[in-house]
Structure 1
């Protein structure tokens, strides 16, 4: 075996080990801790705390969360967002509308046309030109694995019928 082949093989093995370690590290955190660590979900985490849903989303699950990032929440006028956060019942409805029971990976989502949320209403799922939309919000990142489910990132907040 040539030194270059041995070196290439060693580099591939090291890369694989780092990938597995990173994957295992990410998987050990629950949905809430993963969202906090990502840094792009501060508004969502604040809302989850205000709705007293932290323990639920740290629970056994599994849950699939269609998580709006901070840019998604920024699309909502501040007065409307503040009013929503102040209304715990409405906030809980909105947040649980972003959660589906079970581990629904991206490969499964693209085969669906709807899913029932833990809030009770269905969300519409559509694939257009290679992109996935949930109630019109684009899924911009997928399959963020956690110890109790998976997160898919949305570019907008989706709203249930109130």
Structure 2
């Protein structure tokens, strides 16, 4: 094969790979799909449903979600989750859940070594601390540890946290 043919072959492979990568992103799971497929997020998904935020977080985004696990919700005082899920407490639930969402897709590599105050969809800011010590989590959000970072969705990124953030 001559040099020109070899270059064309590499270009074709690159184009096919790029198209394949785009198709993969478009057909992947969004933030809600990922959360719903993980049993550790069943309380979060129930709260999103009660707050009517599912369609928003299935939207184009991008969003960064600090996702508390079931254990994080269980650590709240007894009866808190049940009370928040009541229809008459929807505004309070929306306030808490939107405090866990930041506009834009922020990955851990963007915060490592930094301390940042980041505006949430709720309107307040969270303190993101990427200067984790030798024995601490690499990234903290307020007083919650990020236990799993950079779960990439089609419309943003999820970071798993071990506490529910309260505004």
- Is this a same-fold pair by TM over 0.5? yes
TM-score (norm 2): 0.77
Output the CA distance in 1 between the equivalents of 2:67 and 2:111: 14
Match of 2:106 among 94, 104, 107: 104
Gaps of 5+ in 2: 1-19
Q: 1:119 matched to which residue of 2?
A: 122
Q: Quick check: which has more Rg, 1 or 2?
A: 2
Secondary structure of the corresponding residue to residue 145 of structure 1:
strand
The one of 74, 97, 101 equivalent to 1:95 is 97
Residue number in structure 1 paired with 2:54: 54
Instruction: Measure, in 2, the Cα distance between the counterparts of 1:115 and 1:89.
Output: 22
- 1:29 aligned counterpart, secondary structure: coil
Q: Describe the superposition over 1:53-110 as per-residue Cα deviations: whole angstroms up to 9, x where unpaired.
A: 0000000100000000111111012312212222100000000000000010111133
Aligned pairs for 1:1-162 within 5 A: 24=24, 28-86=28-86, 87-110=89-112, 111-126=114-129, 127-129=131-133, 131-160=138-167
Structure 1 position 112, deviation (Å): 4.1
Q: Secondary structure at the match of 2:118?
A: strand
What is the aligned-residue RMSD (CA, Å)? 2.0
Measured in 1, the distance between the counterparts of 2:78 and 2:90 equals 17
Conserved 8 A contact 2:108-2:139: no
Q: Is the 8 A contact 2:58 2:155 kept in 1?
A: yes
Q: What is the distance in 2 between the residues matched to 1:38 and 1:105?
A: 20
Aligned residues: 139
Q: For 1:109 and 1:116, locate their aligned partners in 2 and report how far apart those are by CA, in whole Å.
A: 14
SS of the residue corresponding to residue 41 of structure 1 reads helix
Q: Runs (4+) of structure 1 moved beyond 6 Å?
A: none
**Aligned partners of 1:144 and 1:109: how far apart in 2?**
15
Q: What stretches of structure 1 of length at least 5 have no aligned partner?
A: 1-19
